[in-house]
Amino acid sequence: LGKLVPLTALCECGKRWRYLTNLTQDSYEMNCIHCGSPIPVFFNDKKGKYETLLEALPPQKGKKKGGKK
């Protein structure tokens, strides 16, 4: 099988799956098992794993909840 690396798939429907994969591409598109939506995953060199763009983005700071200003 070769070297297995972790892959975390986070779908916009809220479901998350974790796999070990032997992919060698920089990016890959898989389908959500729950809703069927495409989930693009990318290899993160710093973390040594595949992850979705949703997971790779840093959390937004300073954003307040609610609509009042």
Q: Which residues, 6+ apart, have CB-to-CB distance to 22 below 8 Å?
A: 1, 2, 3, 4, 5
Instruction: Compute the distance between CA of residue 4 and CA of residue 19 in angstroms, rounded to an integer.
Output: 9
What angle is formed at CA 66 by the lines to CA 64 and CA 69, rounded to 5 degrees?
A: 75
Mean pLDDT of 15-31: 92
The whole-number pLDDT of residue 20 equals 95
Confidence band (pLDDT; 50, 70, 90) for 2? confident
pTM comes to 0.69
